Amino acid sequence: MIPASPFQGQTIAALATVTVIIGAVVTILEIERFASRRHGFADVPLSAVTLEIRAGEVVTVSGPSGCGKTLLLRAIADLDPSTGTAALDGQHRDQYSGPEWRRRVGFVATESAWWSACVGDHFMTPPPGDDLSALGFSADVLARKVADLSTGERQRLALLRSLGNRPRIILLDEPTASLDHETTLRLEALVREYVASHNCSVLWVCHDLRQRQRIADRAFEVRGGVLHPVDKSEPQWVLSH
Amino acid sequence: MGVVPLSYVDLLLAATLVLLLAGLSVALSLGITRDLLIAALRTGVQLLLVGLVLKVLFAHASAFWISLMALVMVAVATREVYARQRNPLAGGWGIGLSAAPLFLSTFTLAVFALLIIINPDPWYLPQYAIPLLGMLLGNAMTAVALGLDRLTSSAVERRNQIEARLALGHPWQQAMSGLQRDSARVALVPVINAMAAAGVVSLPGMMTGQILAGTPPMEAVKYQILIMFLIAAATGIAALLAISGAARRLFDERQRLRLDRLREPN
């Protein structure tokens, strides 16, 4: 249940901290009857979603193009208007300013965008060397021109750029769409390591069912405009679509 | 020396030059012939009409009629600003964010110049007030239209960049800082160029008019310098107010980029 008042939110956040200490399951993101309103109330492809994502979890969402996966991520990231409620670490979204919320809810779009010529200009603090090397970069990549990077390189750097905020949940919109298999595996490993070391979580839109099998703790599929859980014990876990 | 009077035949002769340009535009398929002809027709009709209005206004220097004339000028300038943008802000905001900066900057500076610097008697003497306001409004209108058009078009074109910054938790001011700077530069370049080139490349229109009417050159020059400084200030203030207001309006209370607040391009 999402708290209705700021006071309740703080109480739940405090309780959440206690439960981390005693090792219980901690909810990072909780959305309730949540839907994008980017296009107003007409033509909403995905009906309202209620979902809890817990610490340490990687949750995937699959579904055909245009079914509303990206709109859902954008709405959770508070880049588009939405209806319903959203809470992070037990605190209602209204308790955060827009920028504060987006620093904690890191959204990485399918196509990364860059606003300055030099890669380094896009990082508030340089990413750790280990993270750079995990994705196949050396430290001098920060001095390179964005225009000289391949799409795949930009995509990997966009992930690192987002991790610089130490988000509590990372929303990944097909982050490996333009990567080769080896780099895809490296990126998956980096995300896994980040989730484990920061006790955070990931909501990952992916089309590749093998990837889903590798990374997902829980999986959902959009069918008929509704988000359905996929049971790991069912053959559908691997074979659907 | 008085003014050499012009007949309507003289004006028709000048109009044939515009027609020649229109013919050239057709031959080269520039696609601006219609706009050119309409603009030329509007110049003739509007100026002749305003000539009649000024004739009446000058004969009866009433504060009421001058204020009414000034408000009509602001309304028309606002409409022009709105019409010159490809993706203006929709509804009342689009109109308000053009009208308010134009009104505030040009009226304030015109009153300042009339009361403090020129000081005619009465201070709202239409021979001074109306041309002064007209020049300030004309230039401010162009600057605001250029600045707002650049701002809103860039926001549409660079949406992904803006949203990438928002997604990283940048506040809207930071996400828009480059666009606001670009828009302000685009708005102010014409007036900066005009000041830089004044007297060297071209003789400004007002000064030329005064000299043609027999004013001693040094008096005409002093008025021209005054007017150019006032124009620079009025355009700068109007454009910066309009750009910062419109930039804020592109974001909602959660600092989300709201391009749905722009009117669909025609």
Contact B239, B143 (CB under 8 A): yes
Radius of gyration of chain B from Cα atoms?
21
User: Regarding predicted confidence, which is higher, B54 or B168?
Assistant: B168
Would you place residue B4 in the very low, low, confident or very high pLDDT band (cuts 50, 70, 90)?
A: confident
State the Cα–Cα distance between residues A177 and B194, nearest whole angstrom: 51
* Whether residue B1 has pLDDT greater than 90: no
What is the token pair recorded at B185?
A: 């530069």
CB contact under 8 A, A112 and B164: yes
State the Cα–Cα distance between residues A4 and A7, nearest whole angstrom: 9
Mutate to test the interface with B, among A38, A76, A115, A168 (most CBs of B within 10 A): A115
CB contact under 8 A, A109 and B166: no
* Whether residue B44 has pLDDT greater than 70: yes
User: Regarding predicted confidence, which is higher, A43 or B81?
Assistant: B81
Residues 166-205 of chain B whose Cβ lies under 8 A from any Cβ of chain A: 166-171, 178
Would you call A100 an interface residue with chain B, using a CB distance cutoff of 8 Å? yes
Instruction: Tell me what pLDDT residue A235 has.
Output: 63
User: Regarding predicted confidence, which is higher, A46 or B248?
Assistant: B248
State the Cα–Cα distance between residues B78 and B80, nearest whole angstrom: 5
Tell me the three state secondary structure of residue A33: strand
Write the residue in B160, B171, B254 that is nearest to A78 by C-beta: B254
Tell me the three state secondary structure of residue A65: coil
Q: What is the mean pLDDT of residues A128-141?
A: 88
* Whether residue A2 has pLDDT greater than 70: no
Q: What is the mean pLDDT of residues A25-49?
A: 84
* Whether residue A10 has pLDDT greater than 80: no
Instruction: Tell me what pLDDT residue A24 has.
Output: 65
Instruction: Tell me what pLDDT residue B22 has.
Output: 95
Would you call A99 an interface residue with chain B, using a CB distance cutoff of 8 Å? yes
Would you call B255 an interface residue with chain A, using a CB distance cutoff of 8 Å? yes
User: Regarding predicted confidence, which is higher, A2 or B117?
Assistant: B117
State the Cα–Cα distance between residues B11 and B201, nearest whole angstrom: 26
Contact B163, B204 (CB under 8 A): no
- A188-to-A47, A49, A63, A238, B80 alpha-carbon distances in Å: 29, 26, 20, 18, 54
CB contact under 8 A, A98 and B166: yes
Would you place residue A205 in the very low, low, confident or very high pLDDT band (cuts 50, 70, 90)?
A: very high
- A132-to-A148, A169, B194 alpha-carbon distances in Å: 17, 20, 51
* Whether residue B266 has pLDDT greater than 60: no
Of B132, B131, B114, give the one whose Cα is nearest residue B123: B114
Would you place residue B18 in the very low, low, confident or very high pLDDT band (cuts 50, 70, 90)?
A: very high
Mutate to test the interface with A, among B166, B168, B260 (most CBs of A within 10 A): B168
| pLDDT tens, position by position, B26-42 | 999 999 999 999 999 99
Instruction: Tell me what pLDDT residue A147 has.
Output: 95
User: Regarding predicted confidence, which is higher, A62 or A38?
Assistant: A62
Measured between beta carbons, the chain A residues lying within 8 angstroms of B182 are none
Q: At what angle do helices B172-197 and B126-157 cross, to 10 degrees?
A: 140
Instruction: Tell me what pLDDT residue B256 has.
Output: 97
Instruction: Tell me what pLDDT residue B209 has.
Output: 85
Q: What percent of chain A has pLDDT over 90?
A: 63
Contact A72, A46 (CB under 8 A): yes
Would you call B84 an interface residue with chain A, using a CB distance cutoff of 8 Å? no
Instruction: Tell me what pLDDT residue A5 has.
Output: 45
Q: What percent of chain A has pLDDT over 70?
A: 85
Instruction: Tell me what pLDDT residue A7 has.
Output: 43
Would you place residue A181 in the very low, low, confident or very high pLDDT band (cuts 50, 70, 90)?
A: very high
Of A111, A207, A181, give the one whose Cα is nearest residue B163: A111
Would you place residue A88 in the very low, low, confident or very high pLDDT band (cuts 50, 70, 90)?
A: very high
pTM of the model: 0.84
* Whether residue A180 has pLDDT greater than 60: yes
